[in-house]
Amino acid sequence: MKENDKNEISDKGMDELEIDKILEEAERLTSKKKSDSIDLKSEKKSDSKGKEVPDKKSGKSDKKSDKVTDKADKNDEKKTSDSSGNRADKQKKSVEKSPKSKKKKLYKVLYIVAMTILISIFVGCSIYLIVYFWQAKKIDKKVDELKDMMVVEEDDDYEIAEEETVVDETGKKTEYVYINGTKVQRKFARIYEKNNDFIGWLTISGTEIDYPVMFTLEDEEYYLHRDFEKNYNGNGTLFIDTASDVEKPSDNMIIYGHNMKNGKMFHDILKYEDEDFYKSHKNIKFDTIYGDGTYEVIAAFRTEIYDKDYTGFKYYAFFNADTPEDFTTFVKECQERTPYTVSTSASFGDKLITLSTCAYHSDEGRFVVVAKKVE
């Protein structure tokens, strides 16, 4: 065989071999493609089982649902935001209102306290006034009872073992009785028996002054806030300074009494500051258990209680004059302080009484009426 034929055969074999390789490769690729397609389908199926693939309708529904959800979420956010905002506003307002609220509460407490105090004061004042006037009424009742106890000449019911009748230089007869060893005017016997501190009776016609007078040597001010029966009473009872001598009268006897706003005790002696009142009420009646006495006013003035070191005029320190000049000086000092002119005067040897009560022109202010015995 020729060499060219071998080459042709060889070329021909080579072509066939190449064709076969190509066919094999194509078949392999086809097989691989199919395999890939199968794998792809299986993956899709697997995905469809794990997750539903929405169709168009469900897609729309999901979109609506998403919108509703979004809207609800937004509303929730808004509500949450509003709620947080409201809480913040409330807290802010609470913080803002807190001082005002405390202030309001404080005012309320103060109002309640103030009203409680006012009511307490009102109740206290009411009780005080009731007691005050009740005590005054009680004094009036007791004074009336004591007046009824006075023994008059026609009263034959009153009898006592030891009696005495005294006739003075004017021819006036006075009946006395002895009670516990004390010589007492018969007309005051029953009153004295009731209370041995009783010393006399003071009367100024045309005024409220018509009261018993007490004398307690051991305690001068015992009746300052006591009634005749020794019970507490704000009006007190008239009483005599223990430096005074009633039985053998000192040159001056001082009688003290309260200046009561209800008009009781010595309230009316302040009217002597008026000259017209003085002119129509010149006489004072002071009858003691030892004898009767009528006195004429010679002075009425304002003064006061001074310190112990004070060396000036002290009406409350004069009881007996060492000399006629001392007596004259006392009378002069009294009349100079009287706001009007009194024509009647007094001289050494006259017997005086001084009525003293509180006055409010100064802390220790006093109003004083001085009268001399005329019969």
Q: pLDDT 10s digit of each residue in the chain, 375 long?
A: 444 444 444 444 444 555 556 666 666 665 655 555 555 445 544 454 444 444 444 444 454 455 545 555 555 555 555 555 556 555 555 555 567 787 788 888 888 999 899 898 888 888 867 776 677 778 889 999 999 999 776 565 666 667 888 888 778 889 999 998 999 999 999 999 999 999 999 999 999 999 999 999 999 999 999 999 999 999 999 999 999 999 999 999 999 999 999 999 999 999 999 999 999 999 999 999 999 999 999 999 999 999 999 999 999 999 999 999 999 999 999 999 999 999 999 999 999 999 999 999 999 999 999 999 998
Q: Under 8 Å CB-to-CB from 306, ≥6 apart: which residues? A: 312, 314, 364
pTM: 0.69
pLDDT in the model for residue 86? 58
Looking at residue 345, its amino acid is S
Strand ranges of the sheet holding 173-179, from the earlier edge strand across to the other edge: 163-167, 173-179, 182-185
How far apart are the C-alpha atoms of 210 and 187, rounded to whole Å? 16
CA distances to 113, 237, 245, 304, 361 from 259, rounded to whole Å, are 36, 11, 24, 14, 13
pLDDT in the model for residue 198? 98
Instruction: Answer whether 217's CB lies under 8 Å from 242's CB.
Output: yes
pLDDT in the model for residue 54? 45
Does residue 30 sit in helix, strand or coil? helix
pLDDT in the model for residue 101? 80
Q: Which of the four CATH numbers 3.40.50.1000, 2.40.260.10, 1.20.120.450, 3.40.1210.10 does domain 195-373 have?
A: 2.40.260.10
pLDDT in the model for residue 129? 72
pLDDT in the model for residue 104? 80
Among all chains, which residue has been given the structure tokens 């000036």?
Answer: 312
pLDDT in the model for residue 297? 98
Does residue 363 sit in helix, strand or coil? coil
Q: Residue 178, exposed/middle/buried by CB under 10 A (0-12, 13-18, 19+)?
A: middle
**In this structure, what token pair is assigned to residue 205?**
């016609």
Q: Specify which residues 303 forms β-bridges with.
A: 366
How far apart are the C-alpha atoms of 121 and 179, rounded to whole Å? 49
pLDDT in the model for residue 117? 92
How far apart are the C-alpha atoms of 176 and 285, rounded to whole Å? 19
pLDDT in the model for residue 151? 78
